[in-house]
C-alpha cells in the first residue's frame, strides 16, 4: 500500500532534481586554474640556425641541419630551410642544438656525484 502513495511523488522528485541540476549548471562559474600561467612570450623576429648538429631528444642526430624558431616555438627542422624575410640567421656550423636548456644526459650514477660518499667514489 505504501507504494501506491509514493508513486505520484516520484515524478515530482525527478522534476525537482532536474530543476535543481539546471539551476546549478546555469549558475556555475569556471574557476581559474590554481596556478595558471601569466607568461606571454615577447615579440621577436624569427631565428634560423644553419648548419648545426641537431639532437632531437629521441635518439636522432641530424648533421648539417637547420632549425627555424618562430613565435618562440620550433617551426621547422631540416636541411636548407627557407628563411623568412625578417629572420635573424645564425651560422651554427660546428655547434650542437639539443632539446631543453641543458645537455639531454647526465653523469650522475657513473662515478658517483661530487661530495657523495655513499657509493664510495667521488668525482671531486
Q: pLDDT tens for the chain, 124 residues: list them.
A: 555 555 566 667 767 777 777 777 766 666 667 778 888 878 889 999 999 999 887 888 999 999 999 988 899 999 999 999 999 999 999 999 988 656 556 666 555 555 555 555 555 5
44 Cβ neighbours under 8 A, 6+ residues apart: 72
Q: Which of the 8 DSSP states describes residue 118?
A: T
Buried b / exposed e along 44-77 (16+ C-beta atoms within 10 A): eebbbbbbbbbbbeeeeebeebbbbbeeeeeeeb
pLDDT computed for residue 72 by the predictor: 85
Domain 47-97 has CATH 2.60.40.10: no
Domain ranges in the chain are 47-97
pLDDT computed for residue 39 by the predictor: 80
Indicate the pTM of the whole model.
Answer: 0.53
pLDDT computed for residue 103 by the predictor: 58
Cα separation, 69 vs 53, in Å, equals 16
Amino acid at each position: 500500500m505504501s507504494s501506491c502513495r509514493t508513486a505520484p511523488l516520484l515524478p515530482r522528485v525527478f522534476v525537482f532534481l532536474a530543476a535543481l541540476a539546471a539551476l546549478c549548471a546555469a549558475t556555475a562559474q569556471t574557476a581559474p586554474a590554481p596556478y595558471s600561467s601569466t607568461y606571454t612570450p615577447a615579440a621577436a623576429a624569427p631565428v634560423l640556425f644553419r648548419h648545426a648538429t641537431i639532437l632531437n631528444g629521441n635518439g636522432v642526430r641530424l648533421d648539417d641541419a637547420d632549425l627555424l624558431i618562430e613565435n618562440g616555438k620550433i617551426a621547422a627542422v631540416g636541411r636548407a630551410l627557407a628563411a623568412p624575410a625578417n629572420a635573424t640567421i645564425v651560422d651554427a656550423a660546428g655547434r650542437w642544438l639539443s632539446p631543453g636548456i641543458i645537455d639531454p644526459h647526465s653523469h650522475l650514477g657513473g662515478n658517483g656525484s661530487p661530495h657523495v660518499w655513499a657509493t664510495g667514489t667521488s668525482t671531486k
